[in-house]
Amino acid sequence: MNKPLRRIAIFCGLLTLALLLRANWLQYVKADDLATDDSNRRVLINRYSMPRGDIIVGGRPITGSVKTEGSELKYKRKYLNGPMYAQVTGYASQSMGVTLLESTYDSVLSGTDERFAFERFTDVVTGEERRGGDIITTIDPKAQKAAYEGLTDLKARGSAVALDPKTGKVLALVSTPSADPGSFAGNSLKEGERFKALDTDKGKPLSNRALRETFPPGSTFKILTAAAALEHGVVTDVDARSDAVSPYPLPLSTNKISSQAGDAVCNKASMKTAMQHSCNNVFLDAAVKVGRDRMLETAEKFGYNKDVYAPELGDLRAAKSLYPGGLDKPGTALTGMGQGSLTSTPMQMAMVTAALANDGKVMQPYLVDEVRSPALNTLEKHEPKQMSQAVSSETAAKVRDMMEFTAKEGSAKRALIDGVTVGGKTGTAQRGVNVRDQVPYGWFVSYGITSDGRSVAVAVFIDPTAMDISREEISGGSLAGPIARNVMKAVLKK
């Protein structure tokens, strides 16, 4: 063979080898990634080739599937009370993809999970249509309804979260305004326009404020400040008068901070009185004395600065709640009253409240109780998991005593329920630098415990921007307190 032909032969051989290597790489190394890539049209066709499995609340499905005509995507998703459960289910849209539970458990719901291999085989043999598995949630339908209706009746942007303190079960998860995921479940032009309108709406109906957005927690954070002060020995007697003057001079600053209750009530008040009337000075002073490092340590034990919902539980991926490190004295003081650089999701404040109701134990929140195969076999069953012991049971009991006193004699009276031990704390949180030009947020956290030991913890957040209400009328107790009460009552009054 002459030299030019030999070179051409070698070059062609190398090209053939490269093609073989590439084909094997795609078929064996990248096969799974390509098979599950959302850009793969076959994935989409497979996902909607049969009715999806259901998401179950209170023993009943809140999802379903309907046949589509003239499309290779044979079925599309429908939702029962879609707006009320949108932050639980997420959406399964032929054109916009999948989110939240619809995404986390897509392989189960679409029937493609590897654990269904035997059932898929028997379906082929018997000629049965492939079926999806079901997701059993922890949501209490009455609590979810109470939270949703409470927020929508106010026409408020906001959210509400309810937890079982002993297990971490999410009993309610609501964000308003909301939207029906079924309204854009298909791939028609009209449905695409609906999604675009929702996505650009100033009210952000597709947002999940309970999990994905953070806000200054305001005075609700004072329950954590109180826990830190007691745990680290800065306060030993909650009934003893403090030396915190009102208005309180912010360290290293000429600024003085007053309390809405008035200087006469708050000047050198005890921590219990300060909780009752939400006196800023006592909690500013407590945070300074606890110090930035110990405040940070306590906050992190309650779940701040951590991915407490992931990766173990992908169904509850959430934004981190932040307690900044390296704060100076003024910054540390401001966190004592829930302001400054501190931010929190409503879920995080529900966790703090739940931990105090659970003797200081922080439980991992979870939204899915059980995963079932199409044959109704249990594939997964969630077991409660303790994340940390944030504070001692003695400290938690002292904070509960103050919260219960606040519910009976202070600003949290609107959460009281006959025959139930209730503790609560209101919050009004300023936002931005020009606070006088912006309406503050309203917060309310509470727990309820029955005589037989059943319990629930609730956090309600309200952004009154869209409401016809003056700045003076905004109060976590008046706006959010009744919602928290109704949610607790729905869970505990069986």
SS3 content of the chain, % helix, strand, coil (to 5): 45, 20, 40
Q: Which residues contact 375 (CB under 8 A, 6 or more apart)?
A: 119
| Nearest in space to 482 (alpha carbons), one of 418, 413, 422, 420 | 413
- Specify whether the CB–CB gap between 281 and 236 falls below 8 A: no
The one-character DSSP state at 341 is: T
Spatial separation of the C-alpha atoms in residues 355 and 352, rounded to whole Å:
5
Structure tokens at 336: 């004592």
For residue 35, give Cα distances in angstroms to 27, 65, 223, 283.
10, 23, 49, 56
406 with 412: CB under 8 angstroms?
A: yes
Token pair belonging to 308? 């407490």
Nearest-angstrom CA–CA distance, 488 and 484? 6
Residues 6+ apart with CB under 8 A from 221: 335, 336, 337, 338, 342, 344, 349, 352, 427
Rounded distance between C-alpha atoms, residue 157 and residue 164, angstroms: 24
Give the whole-angstrom CA distance, residue 108 versus residue 179: 25
**Among the options 219, 242, 270, 373, which is catalytic?**
219
**Interhelix angle for 222-231 vs 280-290, to 10°?**
40
* CA 254/CA 236 separation, integer angstroms: 30
Write phi, then psi, for 66 (nearest 5 degrees): -130, 145
Q: Residue 4's CB: how many other CB atoms inside 10 A?
A: 8
Active site residue 71: no
Contact status, residue 198 vs residue 179, Cβ threshold 8 Å: yes
Whole-number Cα distances in Å, 153 to 144, 176, 229: 14, 10, 38
Catalytic residues: 219
